[in-house]
Amino acid sequence: MRLFASICLAATLSLATAAEAQTAAPSLTDSDARCLLAMAALSNSTDQNAARFGQAGVVYFAGRIGARNPNFNFAGLRTLATTMNQQTAQTELQQHCGPMFDNAMQSLQTALGPPPSSSPAPAKPAAPPAQH
The string of pLDDT tens digits covering residues 61-73 is 999 999 999 999 9
Task: Please check the confidence at residue 3 and state whether its pLDDT lies above 80.
Answer: no
> What number is the average pLDDT over the span 28-51?
94
> What number is the average pLDDT over the span 106-123?
76
Higher pLDDT: 1 or 60? It is: 60
pLDDT class for 18, splitting at 50, 70, 90? Answer: very low
**Using an 8 Å Cβ cutoff, are 36 and 74 in contact?**
no
Dist. CA 101–CA 57, nearest whole Å: 7
Dist. CA 111–CA 107, nearest whole Å: 6
The reported pTM is: 0.67
Cβ neighbours, 10 Å, residue 41: 20
61-70 in b/e burial notation, b at 16+ Cβ within 10 A? bbebbeeeee
Q: What pLDDT, on a 0 to 100 scale, did the predictor assign at position 114?
A: 80
